[in-house]
Amino acid sequence: SQQGEEDPQALSIQEGENATMNCSYKTSINNLQWYRQNSGRGLVHLILIRSNEREKHSGRLRVTLDTSKKSSSLLITASRAADTASYFCATDAGTGFQKLVFGTGTRLLVSP
């Protein structure tokens, strides 16, 4: 069963706008990670946030984590057409060997 559920499933915005994606999960975690996947390609690691962190930044990316609500959000500021991709959250539930459980993803379309 999926640990994470992303919301929305699909998001369409204009260049320059901000994009926010949410992820909910079910069990306690060690960390939560966000990945990007361009169409037909492999996954690219974006950012990792540990369970004792609440917010993390990397360039135009901002990730928040609320362990009390078992949720995370990914904000992409000033979106570009090149940000068009699917975005997945993945959780490490601390069961050993860093076995990640992925959500179903948010498809982001950024139009010029």
Partner 1 sequence: DAGITQSPRHKVTETGTPVTLRCHQTENHRYMYWYRQDPGHGLRLIHYSYGVKDTDKGEVSDGYSVSRSKTEDFLLTLESATSSQTSVYFCAILRTSGGATDTQYFGPGTRLTVL
The footprint of partner 1 (CB under 8 A) covers 2, 4, 30-31, 33, 35, 41-45, 48, 50-51, 88, 90, 97-105
Give the span between the Cα atoms of 58 and 103, in whole angstroms.
Answer: 21
Q: Which is nearer to partner 1, 48 or 75 (CB)?
A: 48
Residue 101 CB, shortest distance to partner 1, in Å, is 8
Nearest distance from C-beta of residue 13 to partner 1, angstroms:
22
Q: What is the DSSP letter of 28?
A: -
Using the minimum distance from each CB to partner 1, give the nearer residue, 17 or 93. 93
Between 30 and 78, name the residue whose CB sits nearer to partner 1. Answer: 30
Strands (E), 5-79: 5-7, 10-14, 19-24, 31-37, 43-50, 55-58, 61-66, 71-76
Nearer to partner 1, 5 or 17 (CB): 5
* Residues in contact with 8: Cβ distance below 8 Å, sequence separation at least 6, in sequence order: 21, 22, 106
Find the shortest distance in angstroms from Cβ 88 to partner 1: 6
Phi, psi of 89 (to 5 degrees): -95, 150
